[in-house]
Amino acid sequence: MNRVIGRLSAPPTLADVAELAGVSRQTVSNAVNNPDLLREDTLARVQAAIEQLGYQPNRAARSLRTRSSRLIGLRIAPAQEGNANALMDRFVHALVDTSREAGYHILLFTGDAEDPVAGYDDLLRSTAVDAFIVTDTFMGNPAAAWLRSRRAPFVAFGRPWDDEHDSVHPWVEIDSAAGAAMATGHLIERGHTRIAWIGWRKDSVLGEERRSGWTRTMREHGLATTGLASRVEDTIASGRAATVALLDEASPTAFVCASDTLAMGVLHELYARGLRPGEDIAVTGFDDSQVAQTVPPGLTSVRQPLEDAAVAVVKALEGLLGNPPYLADGVMLQPRLVVRGSS
């Protein structure tokens, strides 16, 4: 129960818990910060008092004592117009849940779109966070090197594309090439031999990784790829424009796309031509977005295990922030194909 001060209700304090449990303030502090020091019956009595009063430890005060904020910084990018992908929303939600269970909280921040390291410096100078999670791991991104130069702990969601075997920071990745290979193999099993690829621009390392899964699987089955691939921006309009060109010039019977956004562009053009997805032309996407799950007849898509990725990222963070700290190995997770009516 909260104490009343004037007309305001004040939250319960450590002293209130100590009085209700019949113990010292230090015992309550130990119950919160070092429960292993207490006898089981004493700990249970203090925890019961904490629950009854609804006591919340003062995070700021504890940060001053321990030099730990229990906050993890995560820079987020603005939403893209014309894009159907909400992949990061799902990852962040999973990350918030998982980190809370481990005793941490995620602090979201933004930065200058033209400056990959903007936003990090302010948080480091203010010691507001204990570590960072970096999601922009494209080749040449200076954020990782910048953080390393300042001895700032961080985990990357995305492997170090320059050389994953020589990495000096922990990372978690989902095997994109395997996902594209699953989609391509599924279409081949359905009898398709002219399978087109719509992917991202060549400077997207992740896009090229996904494309490699399509290329490898086609070649393993002795199928041609010449004239069946397109590289475009990741927008619905770009996906549709690529579909127009491929249908008119290469006559594919199926499409494998690097994202659900591009697959939506394919579906738009198929509907405009009176072609039925899954019957006249097969289509697969990537990321299993909400759109993939709701658009008729349902878009077959590669689903990434983002919940597992969040668990692996937090585990790596716990290693970096442990006493003593340790550097976890890189983790490669496998996606799965969710088959729906479009294929």
Residues 139 and 41 both lie in one domain: no
Peptide bond before 297: cis, by omega within 30 degrees of 0? yes
Is 8 a member of any domain?
no
- The residue ranking higher by pLDDT, 78 or 260, is 260
Domain extent for 50: 14-57
pLDDT cut 70: percent of the chain above it: 87
Residues 248 and 168 both lie in one domain: no
Half-sphere exposure of residue 7, counting CA atoms within 13 Å on the CB side?
Answer: 0
**CATH code of the domain covering residue 200:** 3.40.50.2300
Per-residue pLDDT band for 204 (boundaries 50, 70, 90) equals confident
Is 341 a member of any domain?
no
Residues 181 and 294 both lie in one domain: yes
Whether residue 258 is predicted with pLDDT greater than 80 in this model: the reply is yes
Is 64 a member of any domain?
no
Structure tokens at 328: 């976890």
Residues 207 and 290 both lie in one domain: yes
Q: Which residues of 265-286 are buried (b: 16+ CB within 10 A; e: fewer)?
A: bbbebbeeeeeebbeebbbbbb
Average pLDDT, the chain: 86
For residue 42, give Cα distances in angstroms to 34, 38, 53, 284: 13, 6, 17, 59
Residues 162 and 181 both lie in one domain: no
Is 156 a member of any domain?
yes
Strand pairing report for 300-303 and 282-286: parallel
Handedness of CA 258, 261, 262, 264 (dihedral sign): positive
CB atoms within 10 A of CB 188: 17
Is 66 a member of any domain?
no
Q: What is the pLDDT of residue 217?
A: 98
Whether residue 314 is predicted with pLDDT greater than 70 in this model: the reply is yes
Residues 295 and 312 both lie in one domain: no
Residues 275 and 167 both lie in one domain: no
**CATH code of the domain covering residue 46:** 1.10.260
Peptide bond before 324: cis, by omega within 30 degrees of 0? yes
Whether residue 102 is predicted with pLDDT greater than 70 in this model: the reply is yes
Residues 190 and 277 both lie in one domain: yes
Residues 108 and 165 both lie in one domain: yes
Domain count, the chain: 3
Whether residue 165 is predicted with pLDDT greater than 70 in this model: the reply is no
Whether residue 298 is predicted with pLDDT greater than 90 in this model: the reply is yes
- The residue ranking higher by pLDDT, 117 or 78, is 117
Per-residue pLDDT band for 82 (boundaries 50, 70, 90) equals low
Question: What residue type is 19 in one-letter code?
Answer: E
Is 3 a member of any domain?
no
Is 48 a member of any domain?
yes
Query: Any idea which of 162-171, 191-200, 246-255, 275-284 has the lowest mean pLDDT?
Result: 162-171
Q: What is the pLDDT of residue 79?
A: 67
Look-up: residue for tokens 């010039």? 249
Is 65 a member of any domain?
no
List all residues 6 or more positions away from 145 whose beta carbon is below 8 Å from its beta carbon: none
Handedness of CA 36, 324, 136, 266 (dihedral sign): negative
pTM of the model: 0.77
CB atoms within 10 A of CB 288: 24
Whether residue 30 is predicted with pLDDT greater than 80 in this model: the reply is yes
Residues 193 and 243 both lie in one domain: yes
Look-up: residue for tokens 């919940």? 307
Of 336, 331, 258, 334, whose CA–CA distance to 303 is shortest?
336
Q: Which residues of 80-96 are buried (b: 16+ CB within 10 A; e: fewer)?
A: eeebbbbebebbbebbb
Residues 137 and 170 both lie in one domain: yes
Query: Any idea which of 9-13, 184-188, 208-212 has the lowest mean pLDDT?
Result: 9-13
Q: Which helix (H) or strand (E) holds 90?
A: helix 87-101
Residues 171 and 278 both lie in one domain: no
Q: What is the pLDDT of residue 164?
A: 53
**Residue 103, phi-psi category: left (phi > 0), alpha (psi -120 to 50), beta (remainder):** left
Q: Any idea how long the chain is?
A: 343
